Structure 1
Amino acid sequence: MFRFLNIVIISLITSIVSAQGYYDVTKYGIPNDSTFVGKNAIDNIIQKAVQKGGGTIYFPAGKYLTGSIKLESNITIFIDAGAELHFSDDFDNYIPMVPSRWEGTTVINFSPFFYAYKAKNITITGRGLIDGHGRNWWNYSEGFDDKKPKSKWENTFFENNKNVLAPPDSKWLKRGFLRPPFIQPMYCENVLIEGITIQNSPFWTVNPEFCKNVTVRSVTINNPHSPNTDGINPESCSYVHISDCHISVGDDCITIKSGKDEDGRKQAAPAEDYVITNCTMLSGHGGVVIGSEMSGGVRNIAISNCIFDGTDRGIRIKSTRGRGGVVENIRVDNIIMHNIKQQAFVLDTRYAKSTIGPVSERTPIFRNIHISNVTANTKDAVFINGLEEMPIEDVSFSNIHLEAENGFDIHYSKNISLNNVFFSGVKTSLVKIENSSDIDLKYLKLEKSTEEKPWVSAINVDGLFIDGCRPKKGTKTFLQLSGKTTSNIGFGTNDFRNVSQVVVKDYDVKKDAILK
C-alpha cells in the first residue's frame, strides 16, 4: 500500500515538474556518453520550452557532446554535478554565423558556444563542467598562414564582414575568420551564470555584450597555456555583479571593456555600474583590467576583497591615442596581491605607440580613480603614464603595503595623492615623478634606510607637497629635483633628522622652486 502511494506521489511530483517546464535531455534521445553531437536535439528541446513560456533544460550526470547552443528568453541551462558538456572542435558546428562582437568590434562570426540575442531571464547554472576543447581554435589562430588558399569558413566570414569598422591595425583582418567567445549573450537582460566550471575556451570565456543586470558568481574558469582566453569580459553592459569566482587563464582574468576605436565610439555604449568582489585570480596577464577597448567609456566600478596570486599584473587600466572614451569613478579596496610578476597597478594611456595630437573624441581620459587597503608582493609597485595633452587626473593611493623592487613611476599626471604607503625591498626611489603637477606625498614609510637613491625624484614637476615622512637613520638623500619647469615644492611637518641631504637640486632647477 505504502509502496503504491510512494509511486503515485513520485508520479505526481514528476508531472508537476514537467508541467513547470523541466526538460531532462536524456528523456529526449540525447545520450550521456558523449557519442552524439546533440546540437539540433538541444535546440529542439529549447524550442519546446519556449513554446510553453520557458523552462529548465536539465543535464544529469554524464558526458554530452554538442555544438553551439542558443538560449531564448526564460530558459535555464542546468548542468548538474557530475555532468560534463563538451563542445565539438569541428568548426561546422558553429555556423551559420551570427551577429557578434570581437575585441570591441561588431562583426558577423561563428556562433559563440552559448549564444543569446535580445533575450530576457537566461541562466546557465549547476555544479557541472563545460569544456570548449579550444585547441583546434588556438592552433588556427597561432598558426594562420595567409599564403594558403582561403577555407570555406574564411570565404563566409569575408562575405559577411565587407563593411566592418575594424581598426586599421587589426591583425585579424588577415586571419580569415575569428575564434568565437565561449558564452556571449548580446543585448540581453537579467543574465545569470553561476556554479559551473568552464575550461578550454576557444577565445574570451564569459563575454556579455550590451546586457543589463548580469550576475556571474561562484564560477571556476581554467584556460591554461592558451591565447587570449580572458576569463570574464563584460563589455558595454550595465549593472554587472561578479563574485566568488576562481580564475586562471591565458590572458586577463576579469576585463571591463566598451568597444574599440570608431566602432566603439559609434555604439557609444559604456560599461557602467560594475561590482567585482570576493574573487581569486591565478594565472593571467592581469587580475582585473579595464581596456584597452574602452572607447564607449567605463564608469562607476567597485573592486574589492580579491586575491591575485601569480598574475602578471594586478589592477591594470590601459588605453591609447585614437581610442577615445572616459574611464572614471573607479574604486579599488581591500586587495591582496602575491607574486605579481610585473606591476601591482598600471594606469597607462600609451598602451600602443602613437604621436601627440590635439584633444578630440579620439583622446582617452582617465580620472577619479581611488585605491586603498592593499597588500602587494610585486616586482614593480605602480606605473602611471598619461599623455602630454591629457594627463591622468585625480588618483589616490591610501593605506598601501608594498614589497617591491621598484616604487611608483609617475608620468604626465595631475592631482595624484599617496597617503600612508609602506615600502620594503625597494632598490630604486620610492616615488619617481616626471612631467606632472599637483602631487601630494603623505606618510611614506620605508622598512630600511636607503643610501643609493633618493626617496623621491621629481623631474619637471609643478606642485609637490610632502608631509608626515620620517626616514630612518642612514638615509643619504630625501628629495632630488631636476628640470627647468620644476616649481612650487612644499613641505609640511616631516622629521628629517636622519637624512644627510633633504633636497638636492640639479643645475637647471629654479632658485625659488622650493616654497618658503
Structure 2
Amino acid sequence: MICCIVFMSCRLKTLETSIEDPWKKMDFVIKTMPQVNFLEKDYDVKDFGAVGDGVAFNTIAFEKAIKACTSNGGGRVIVSEGKYLTGPIHLENNVNLHLEDNAEILFSTNPKDYPIVHTSFEGTELMNYSPLIYAKNKTNVAITGRGILNGQASSGNWWLWSGAKDYGWKKGIPSQNDPTNREVLVDMAEKGVPVSERIFGEGRYLRPNFIEFFECNTVLIKDIKVINAPFWILHPIKSNNVIIDGVTVDSHGPNNDGCDPEYSQNIIIKNCVFNTGDDCIAIKSGRDADGRRVGIPSKNIIVQNCKMIDGHGGVVIGSEISAGVNNVFVENCVMDSPNLDRAIRIKTNSKRGGVIENVYVRNLEVGTVKECVLKLNMFYNVYGSQTGNFIPVIRNVSLENVKVKKAGKYGIWAEGYKESPVENITLKNVIIEKADSVYLLKNIRNFNFINTYINDKNVESVKN
C-alpha cells in the first residue's frame, strides 16, 4: 500500500502540470486517490468490556478492542446501540471505528482524562490535551456509521475556557486568553522553541480538537454525526488522501469550525452538512512562524455537494495560512442562513503572509448571507495587532454559475496591498439579487465580471 501511495503521488505531481483545465485537475485527484480497505473482521467493544449505559467508563475497553483489531491485521471496531462514556480514543493502522445506528459515544469533559500528545492549537504545534479521537502516523484508518460522536462540551469546562461571555465565561474564570496561555504558545513558536518543549495541558486552558488525523495517509470519515465539540471538529493535519463523506456537523460552540484541513493534500469533503459556531470549512496551513517553519501548503482540497447553514463562512481559507494554499475546488453546494456571514472567504494579514492561489468555485445556490458573497481580505484582524513583514498574495480566484438571493453589505469585498493587490479574480454567470452595495474593492488588479448582475445591474470589469 505504501509503495502504491508513493507511486500515485509521483504520478500526480507529473501529470497535474500538464492539465490546463482546473476542473480536470480536480477529476484527476479524485480518480487517483487511494481508498481505505479493511479485512472483514469485527471487534465489538462490548466483547472487551464496554457497557453502553452512558455511565460506565469505557476508555480501556475501546483501547483493547482497537489493539486487538490492529494486531490481527485490521477490520472494524464495532460500537453497537447504546451510549458509551469514554476518554479519548486513539486509532491504529487498518482500523475502522464503526458506529452502528443508535450508537452514541459520549466523551468525558474532565481534562484529567486526556493525556498530553503532539497536536496543534490554532495553527501552532504543541504538546497538549489529546484530541477526542486521535490518530498519529497511521495509514488506512476510518470512522464510519450513522452513530453520534458527542463531545458534551456545552456541559463541561471546554467552552468556558474560550473566554467568551456568550458561552458562560465570567471575570475570574481562567481561560485560554490569560497571559500565560495562548500568548505564550505563540511567543514560543516565534522564538523557535522545539515543539517537544511547548508543553501545555493542565493549567493552560487550551481546548483539544475533536477528530484529528495527524500525519496520516488514506483516511475515511463517513456518515457520522458530530455534536458539542470543544474546539475545531474535523482536523486532518499533515495528512494526505482523506475523504470526508456524508458527515453531519452540528455544533455551535466557540471556534467550532466544521472541518480544518491543515498542511494537508488531496482532501475530498462531500455530501456533508455543516451547522457551526465558526467557519463551516476552513482550510489552513499554520500560523505565522510555525507555518513558515513547517512550510507545507494545503493543496488539492475538493468540496462537493455540501450544505452550509450557520457559520462565519461557508468555505474559508485562513486565517492560519502562512505556508499557503492552492488548488481548491468547490462545486454544487448550498449555503443559506441569516447566521451565515459569507459564502466564500479568504482571510490573511501581514503576520500570516502566505500565497493563496487557484481557487475555483462553481454551481452554488446561496440564499442569505449576512455580510457578502465573496470576501478576499489581507487585513484580517481578530487578536489585536496583526501586522508584520510577510505581505500575503491572493490571486487566481474564479466563481462561476452562482445564484444569490441576499448578500448583506456587499456583493463582493476585496482588499489588498498596493505592493500586492488582490488579482486575477473572475466572476462569470453570477447573479446576486440583493446587496446593500455592489462591491468594496481596494488595491485590486484584473477583476473580471462576465455576465454578472448585482441588484439587477450588469457589473463591469475592473482592471486596477
Cα distance change of structure 1 residues 370 and 148 upon mapping to structure 2, 3 Å threshold = closer
Cα distance change of structure 1 residues 150 and 274 upon mapping to structure 2, 3 Å threshold = closer
Which residue number corresponds to residue 69 of structure 2? 49
Contact 2:48 2:64 in 1 (8 A): no
Question: Structure 1: any 5+ residue segments left out of the alignment?
Answer: 1-18, 432-440, 443-460, 465-516
Contact 2:161 2:175 in 1 (8 A): no
User: Which residue identity lines up with residue 384 of structure 1 in the other structure?
Assistant: A
Q: Could you tell me how far 1:56 is from its partner in structure 2?
A: 1.2
Q: Does 1:164 align with 2:188?
A: yes
Equivalent position to 2:419, from 389, 411, 421: 389
User: Which residue identity lines up with residue 438 of structure 2 in the other structure?
Assistant: G
Question: Structure 2: any 5+ residue segments left out of the alignment?
Answer: 1-38, 193-199
**1:18-167 pair list within 5 angstroms:** 20-94=40-114, 96-135=115-154, 136=156, 137-142=158-163, 164-165=188-189
Distance in 2 (CA, whole Å) between partners of 1:167 and 1:304 is 41
Distance in 2 (CA, whole Å) between partners of 1:133 and 1:336 is 33
The SS at the match of 1:394 is strand
Which residue number corresponds to residue 436 of structure 2? 405
Q: Could you tell me how far 1:295 is from its partner in structure 2?
A: 0.5
Distance in 2 (CA, whole Å) between partners of 1:166 and 1:73 is 34
Contact 2:209 2:235 in 1 (8 A): yes
Contact 2:285 2:323 in 1 (8 A): yes
Which residue number corresponds to residue 241 of structure 1? 268
Q: Does 1:328 align with 2:357?
A: yes
Distance in 2 (CA, whole Å) between partners of 1:229 and 1:53 is 35
Distance in 2 (CA, whole Å) between partners of 1:327 and 1:145 is 38
Cα distance change of structure 1 residues 330 and 163 upon mapping to structure 2, 3 Å threshold = closer
User: Which residue identity lines up with residue 363 of structure 2 in the other structure?
Assistant: N
**1:85-484 pair list within 5 angstroms:** 85-94=105-114, 96-135=115-154, 136=156, 137-142=158-163, 164-165=188-189, 176-224=204-252, 226-310=253-337, 311-352=340-381, 362-376=390-404, 377-379=406-408, 380-403=410-433, 404-424=435-455, 441=460
Contact 1:167 1:261 in 2 (8 A): no
User: Which residue identity lines up with residue 188 of structure 2 in the other structure?
Assistant: V
Cα distance change of structure 1 residues 402 and 125 upon mapping to structure 2, 3 Å threshold = same
The SS at the match of 2:263 is coil
Indicate the percent of aligned positions where both proteins have the same amino acid.
36
Cα deviation per residue 1:338-363 (whole Å; 9 max; x = unaligned)? 11111111001111277988xx6x12
User: Which residue identity lines up with residue 376 of structure 2 in the other structure?
Assistant: L
Compute the RMSD of aligned alpha carbons.
2.9
The SS at the match of 2:370 is strand
User: Which residue identity lines up with residue 338 of structure 1 in the other structure?
Assistant: G
Cα deviation per residue 1:407-444 (whole Å; 9 max; x = unaligned)? 12111011111111112278xxx86xxxxxxxxx26xx
Distance in 2 (CA, whole Å) between partners of 1:82 and 1:257 is 33
Contact 2:380 2:386 in 1 (8 A): no
User: Which residue identity lines up with residue 399 of structure 2 in the other structure?
Assistant: I
Cα distance change of structure 1 residues 89 and 161 upon mapping to structure 2, 3 Å threshold = same
Contact 1:405 1:425 in 2 (8 A): no
Distance in 1 (CA, whole Å) between partners of 2:344 and 2:296 is 23
Cα deviation per residue 1:49-79 (whole Å; 9 max; x = unaligned)? 2221222110111111111000111111000
Cα deviation per residue 1:311-335 (whole Å; 9 max; x = unaligned)? 1111001100121210011101011
Cα distance change of structure 1 residues 150 and 287 upon mapping to structure 2, 3 Å threshold = closer
Q: Could you tell me how far 1:150 is from its partner in structure 2?
A: 10
Cα distance change of structure 1 residues 149 and 222 upon mapping to structure 2, 3 Å threshold = closer
The SS at the match of 2:364 is strand
The SS at the match of 1:42 is helix
Contact 2:377 2:416 in 1 (8 A): yes
Contact 1:307 1:337 in 2 (8 A): yes
Specify which structure has the higher proportion of strand: 1
Distance in 1 (CA, whole Å) between partners of 2:69 and 2:295 is 35
User: Which residue identity lines up with residue 427 of structure 2 in the other structure?
Assistant: F
Count of matched residue positions in the alignment of Structure 1 and Structure 2: 404
Contact 2:96 2:142 in 1 (8 A): yes
Cα distance change of structure 1 residues 254 and 292 upon mapping to structure 2, 3 Å threshold = same
Distance in 2 (CA, whole Å) between partners of 1:31 and 1:190 is 31
Distance in 2 (CA, whole Å) between partners of 1:182 and 1:162 is 21
The SS at the match of 1:108 is strand
Contact 1:109 1:177 in 2 (8 A): no
TM-score by length of 2: 0.81
User: Which residue identity lines up with residue 243 of structure 2 in the other structure?
Assistant: T
The SS at the match of 2:236 is coil
Distance in 2 (CA, whole Å) between partners of 1:149 and 1:231 is 26
Contact 1:356 1:388 in 2 (8 A): no
Distance in 2 (CA, whole Å) between partners of 1:308 and 1:150 is 33
Distance in 1 (CA, whole Å) between partners of 2:144 and 2:341 is 30
Q: Could you tell me how far 1:293 is from its partner in structure 2?
A: 0.9
Q: Could you tell me how far 1:147 is from its partner in structure 2?
A: 6.3
User: Which residue identity lines up with residue 66 of structure 1 in the other structure?
Assistant: T
The SS at the match of 1:27 is helix
Contact 1:223 1:250 in 2 (8 A): yes
Q: Could you tell me how far 1:145 is from its partner in structure 2?
A: 7.6
The SS at the match of 1:164 is helix
Contact 1:109 1:157 in 2 (8 A): no
TM-score by length of 1: 0.73
The SS at the match of 1:49 is helix
Q: Relative contact order (alpha carbons < 8 A, sep ≥ 6): 1 or 2 greater?
A: 2
Distance in 1 (CA, whole Å) between partners of 2:190 and 2:364 is 36
